[in-house]
Amino acid sequence: MPRAYTQGDVLLARLTFSSGEGQKRRPVLVAEDFGDDDLLVVPITSHAARTEGDIVLSEWKEAGLKLPSTVRVEKFATIEKSCIERNLGRLATAESAEFKRVLAMVCRRFL
């Protein structure tokens, strides 16, 4: 049985480039674990916010990140749990609530 993750977990994952060639280790935020071998995640970057779908983390150290970071909520990805290298931490309570708010806003665009 694959390990279970919860929304708000910050993980270090091996992500494959969109070209399909090569991988890079990157932090990601769990959006949903459906209980199978895959996770729905969004990337975390050290770049500045660009859209209303980005969340600048004020408590990035507490989330286990090495640099000031931004969550790119609009950039969903499905990854295999086997790509997870380790758990870095969790979002702070206030930032977790902000993630849920922005996630709901982004998802409403699909309706």
Phi/psi region, residue 32 (left: phi>0; alpha: psi -120 to 50; beta: rest), is beta
HEC letters along 47-104: CCCCCCCEEEECCCCCCCCCCCEEEECCCCEEEEHHHEEEEEEECCHHHHHHHHHHHH
What pLDDT score does 20 carry? 74
**What is the domain extent for residue 44?**
9-108
Residue 1 reports pLDDT greater than 70: no
Q: CA 70, CA 28: separation in Å to the nearest integer?
A: 10
In a domain, residue 28? The reply is: yes
| Domain count of the fold of the chain | 1
In a domain, residue 32? The reply is: yes
In a domain, residue 55? The reply is: yes
- Residue 57, domain CATH: 2.30.30.110
In a domain, residue 1? The reply is: no
Residue 111 reports pLDDT greater than 90: no
pTM: 0.93
Q: CA 45, CA 65: separation in Å to the nearest integer?
A: 10
